[in-house]
């Protein structure tokens, strides 16, 4: 009873207090009413003016793109100021006159201007040309009165201080295209925005992009700014630290020189891509500054394909390098033991055909080590014939062939590991045993990319650790200024015992000490590797006599060399491919040796700005 009466008392108490809640709410709503009176009645005419004359112009303030560094903090890409030409549509009085007049003052096509202006949904400012010269700026400024609506705005332009170096890794930036604008992925970006179009610029665009700011200005009837109404500052993109060591990258590209080819160097333990070179390259500064349609076409049609990243897109037969996979397959399936030796007389008859060894007289009695060291074809013809295609393709896949490595670069190719199922499906034919014999020495349908080869030799170097090659080491977040290390990629361990790898490594060491790649022998470090020669599918000469010399070169084989070093505690894994240079032992092995020696010497010199 007491309890109930207390509750009733409390209730009455509380209900009396509700008056304050009521007064509070009413006060607030009356205040809002007053505010609306202020905006709509007292200042209504002013806002009506702003709305009717639409006297506000909104200007997008481009953020500075995040910078790119190598693993030691060397600058790879930054931003430099440049002038951009815009047309502010609301302020244009006679569009046709403007389109006719502007090409007199700036190097730009009439058609290009009208194309850009007439695109659907254009409103506000349209970017017409990036990177106009100081002289052009001066000319336009002196003709200001004839050109209402033309606005010149200083903005950032992407700059690659190393010019052509690492061009395929860094990529380039460019204005967002019409088709990208329609893509929901880019739905929050406006026309004129500069985004990554290739390389890590594209892959990590969301980090690098930053957020645009916006300035709203009030303009007079001629479109001249009168005052700034509001500013939202742009937020620069995050800086990225890549795994590349630019010293190694430079060296790799210099070693390739004028030849077409690719070099990939990995840290075998964590998959860090130390160098990823592809030649011929291009200068991303030429592309990023707003390239004309004509130049772009010329670029795309260049017969040497400078835009192709051979390290991840070039698909070549692995040649004898594939014998590494064959060795693992035959040891693991116990087709042959490491000690068993086979006589090699230089030929392997199969049905009506005779498969030849590269060495006419043969290699004599050959065990696994000697077969790898001297790259005996007959040994592997026999082994492959016993194995059959299925185990070979199974082991090839275990070593990462036939699938993309997943490196964070656009347009990686997967190469091809054939199987009888594949042949039935794609070619509509059964698998012929003779084809297995070609595959055994890395020819036939089998193709690989240089980065797959580097990954494969990494797996051997680390006794079966499979890592995904990575380029993104760390980022510096602009919001907080903190350095954020990327987690290392997950590691998978192959179910192949260390003993098997020991046998393979013994062979790979012998390749350099007494085998096909003695030119890779180093006094400084113990290198293990394997040569390979990728047969080129013959092209028909087109009869042009003047080009005969070049064409002949096109028939020459591609030279492979894969290696890791030091033999005991591997620190670097390398794959070198030089197109049309013949034998791996003479053309590619010396490049790998120089690269490895340089990398080992870097280990002893302190880093400038270690991460």
Partner 1 sequence: MSLMNDNVNRRGLDTFDWCFLGVIIAIISAGILSIYSVTNSQATSGFPIYLKQTIWMVVGSLAFLVAAGIDYHKLARLSYLLYGIGLILLIIVLVSGKTSRGSQRWIPLGPFVVQPSEFIKVPLILTLAAYYGATSREGWVRRLFVPGLIVLPGFLLILKQPDLGSSLGFLAIFLVVVLTVGMKSKAFGFVILAALMLFPFAWGGVWGSLHGYQQDRILSFVDPTSDPGGKGYHGLQSRIAIGSGQLLGKGLHGGTQTQFKFLPEGHTDFVFAVFAEEWGFIGSVILLSLYIILFLMGLEIAFKAKDMVGVLLAVGVVAMIAFGVVVNIAMTSGLAPVVGIPLPLMSYGGSAMVVNLTALGLLLNVKRRRLSLL
- Binding residues (CB under 8 A) for partner 1: these are 7, 10-11, 14-15, 17-18, 20-29, 31-33, 35-37, 39-41, 43-48, 50-52, 54, 56, 58, 214, 216, 229-233, 235, 479
Catalytic residue among 82, 288, 320, 419: 320
| Nearer to partner 1 (CB atom), residue 58 or residue 337 | 58
Residue 436 and residue 329 in contact, taking contact as beta carbons nearer than 8 Å: no
Closest distance of CB 134 from partner 1, Å: 31
What's the gap between Cα 120 and its chain centre? 33
SS3 238: coil
Which tokens go with 261? 């080819």
Write the DSSP symbol of residue 480: T
Least distance (Å) between residue 29 CB and partner 1: 5
Q: Which two tokens stand for residue 266?
A: 């990995």
Q: Shortest approach of partner 1 to residue 191 CB, angstroms?
A: 15
How far apart are CB 131 and partner 1 at their closest, in Å?
28
We find the least distance from the C-beta atom of residue 223 to partner 1, in angstroms, to be 17
Nearest distance from C-beta of residue 238 to partner 1, angstroms: 14
Residue (230 or 337) nearer to partner 1, CB: 230
Shortest Å, Cβ 66 to partner 1: 17
CB 208 within 8 A of CB 173: no
How buried is 350 (Cβ within 10 angstroms: 0-12 exposed, 13-18 middle, 19+ buried)? Answer: middle
Give the alpha-carbon dihedral of 89, 93, 94, 100, to 10 degrees: -60
> Are the beta carbons of 576 and 451 closer than 8 angstroms?
no
Query: Are the beta carbons of 88 and 151 closer than 8 angstroms?
Result: yes
**387 alpha carbon, distance to own chain's centre:** 37
**Which CB, 37 or 555, lies closer to partner 1?**
37
Does an H or E element contain 485, and which?
strand 483-485
Determine the straight-line distance between the first and last CA of the chain, rounded to whole angstroms: 75
Residue 308 DSSP label: S
Q: Which is nearer to partner 1, 26 or 611 (CB)?
A: 26
For partner 1, which is the closer residue by CB, 47 or 224? 47
Say whether 153 sits in a helix, a strand or coil. strand
Q: What CA–CA distance (Å, rounded) separates 272 from 571?
A: 11
Q: Beta strand pairing status for 572-578 and 558-565?
A: antiparallel
Q: Cβ of residue 239: shortest distance to partner 1, in angstroms?
A: 18
Q: Which is nearer to partner 1, 43 or 254 (CB)?
A: 43
Q: In angstroms, give the least distance from the CB of 135 to partner 1.
A: 35
Q: How far is the CB of 50 from partner 1 (least distance, A)?
A: 5
Q: Is the peptide bond before 566 cis (omega within 30 degrees of 0)?
A: yes
Q: Which helix (H) or strand (E) holds 86?
A: strand 75-88
Q: Which residues does 95 contact at the CB level (< 8 Å), separation at least 6? A: 117
- Which of 559, 590, 561 lies closest to 574, judged by CA? 561
Read off the DSSP letter of residue 158. Answer: E
Write down the residue that tokens 């042009």 correspond to.
Answer: 544
As given in the structure block, the two tokens for residue 168 are: 């395929």
Give the angle 254-609-454 at the CA atoms, nearest 5°. Answer: 45
Q: Which is nearer to partner 1, 42 or 499 (CB)?
A: 42
Q: Residue 221 Cβ, how far from partner 1 at the closest point, in Å?
A: 18
What number of CA atoms fall less than 13 Å from residue 247's CA on the CB side? 16
Say if residues 327 and 496 touch (Cβ distance below 8 Å).
Answer: no
Phi, psi at 435, each rounded to 5°: -70, -30
User: Which is nearer to partner 1, 31 or 300 (by Cβ)?
Assistant: 31
Whether residue 603 contacts residue 529, with contact meaning beta carbons closer than 8 Å, is answered with: no
By beta-carbon proximity to partner 1, the closer residue of 46 and 296 is: 46
CA–CA dist 386, 372 (Å, integer) = 18
Going by C-beta distance under 8 Å and a sequence separation of 6 or more, which residues neighbour residue 543? none
Other C-beta atoms lying within 10 Å of the C-beta of residue 521: 14
What sign has the CA pseudo-torsion 516, 520, 524, 528?
Answer: negative
Between residues 31 and 491, which has the closer beta carbon with respect to partner 1?
31
Which residue number, 480 or 604, has a Cβ lying nearer to partner 1?
Answer: 480
Q: Which residues pair with 567 in a beta bridge?
A: none
Q: How far is CA 265 from CA 120, 211, 595, 605, in A?
A: 47, 35, 9, 19
Nearer to partner 1, 21 or 537 (CB): 21
Give least dist CB 74 to partner 1, A: 30
Neighbours of 492 (CB within 10 A): 13
Catalytic residue check, 320: yes
- Catalytic residue positions? 320
């Amino acid at each position: 009873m007491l309890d109930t009466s207390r509750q009733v008392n409390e209730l009455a108490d509380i209900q009396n207090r509700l008056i304050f809640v009521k007064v509070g709410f009413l006060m607030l709503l009356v205040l809002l009413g007053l505010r609306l009176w202020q905006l709509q009645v007292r200042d209504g005419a002013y806002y009506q003016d702003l709305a009717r004359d639409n006297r506000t112009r909104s200007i997008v303030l481009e953020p500075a793109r995040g910078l790119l560094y190598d693993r030691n903090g060397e600058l790879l890409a930054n931003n430099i100021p440049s002038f951009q030409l815009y047309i502010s549509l609301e302020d244009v009085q006679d569009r046709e006159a403007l389109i006719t007049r502007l090409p007199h003052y700036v190097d730009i096509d009439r058609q290009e201007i009208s194309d850009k202006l007439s695109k659907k949904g254009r409103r506000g400012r349209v970017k017409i040309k990036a990177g106009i010269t100081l002289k052009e700026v001066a000319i336009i400024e002196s003709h200001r009165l004839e050109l209402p609506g033309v606005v010149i705005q200083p903005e950032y332009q992407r700059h690659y201080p190393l010019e052509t170096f690492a061009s395929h890794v860094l990529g380039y930036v460019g204005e967002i295209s019409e088709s990208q604008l329609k893509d929901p992925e880019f739905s929050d970006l406006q026309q004129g925005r500069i985004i990554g179009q290739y390389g890590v610029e594209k892959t990590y665009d969301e980090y690098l992009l930053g957020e645009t700011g916006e300035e709203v200005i009030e303009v007079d009837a001629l479109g001249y700014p009168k005052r700034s109404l509001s500013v939202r500052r742009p937020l620069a993109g995050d800086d990225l630290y890549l795994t590349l060591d630019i010293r190694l990258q430079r060296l790799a590209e210099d070693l390739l020189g004028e030849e077409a080819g690719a070099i990939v160097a990995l840290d075998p333990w964590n998959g860090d891509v130390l160098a990823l070179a592809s030649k011929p390259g291009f200068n991303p500064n030429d592309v990023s500054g707003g390239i004309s349609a004509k130049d772009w076409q010329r670029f795309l049609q260049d017969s040497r394909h400078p835009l192709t990243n051979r390290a991840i897109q070039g698909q070549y037969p692995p040649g004898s390098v594939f014998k590494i996979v064959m060795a693992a397959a035959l040891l693991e399936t116990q087709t042959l033991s490491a000690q068993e030796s086979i006589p090699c007389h230089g030929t392997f008859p199969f049905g009506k055909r005779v498969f030849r060894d590269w060495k006419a007289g043969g290699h004599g009695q050959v065990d696994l080590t000697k077969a790898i060291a001297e790259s005996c074809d007959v040994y592997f013809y026999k082994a492959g014939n016993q194995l059959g295609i299925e185990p070979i393709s199974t082991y090839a896949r275990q070593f990462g062939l036939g699938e993309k490595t997943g490196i964070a670069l656009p347009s990686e190719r997967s190469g091809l590991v054939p199987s009888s199922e594949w042949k039935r499906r794609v070619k509509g034919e059964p698998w012929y045993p003779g084809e297995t014999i070609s595959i055994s020495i890395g020819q036939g349908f089998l193709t690989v990319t240089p980065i797959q080869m580097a990954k494969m030799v990494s797996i051997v170097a680390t006794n079966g650790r499979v890592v995904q090659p990575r380029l993104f080491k760390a980022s510096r977040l602009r919001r907080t200024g903190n350095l954020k290390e990327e987690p290392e990629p997950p590691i998978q361990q192959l179910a192949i015992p260390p003993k098997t790898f020991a046998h393979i490594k013994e062979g790979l060491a012998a390749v350099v000490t007494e085998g096909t790649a003695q030119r890779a022998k180093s006094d400084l470090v113990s290198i293990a590797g394997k040569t390979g020669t990728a047969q080129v599918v013959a092209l028909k000469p087109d009869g042009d006599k003047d080009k005969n010399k070049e064409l002949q070169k096109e028939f020459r084989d591609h030279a492979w060399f894969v290696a890791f070093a030091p033999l005991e505690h591997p620190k670097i894994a390398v794959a070198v491919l030089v197109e049309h240079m013949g034998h791996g032992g003479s053309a590619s092995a010396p490049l790998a040796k120089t690269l490895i020696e340089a990398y080992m010497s870097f280990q002893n010199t302190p880093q400038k700005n270690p991460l």
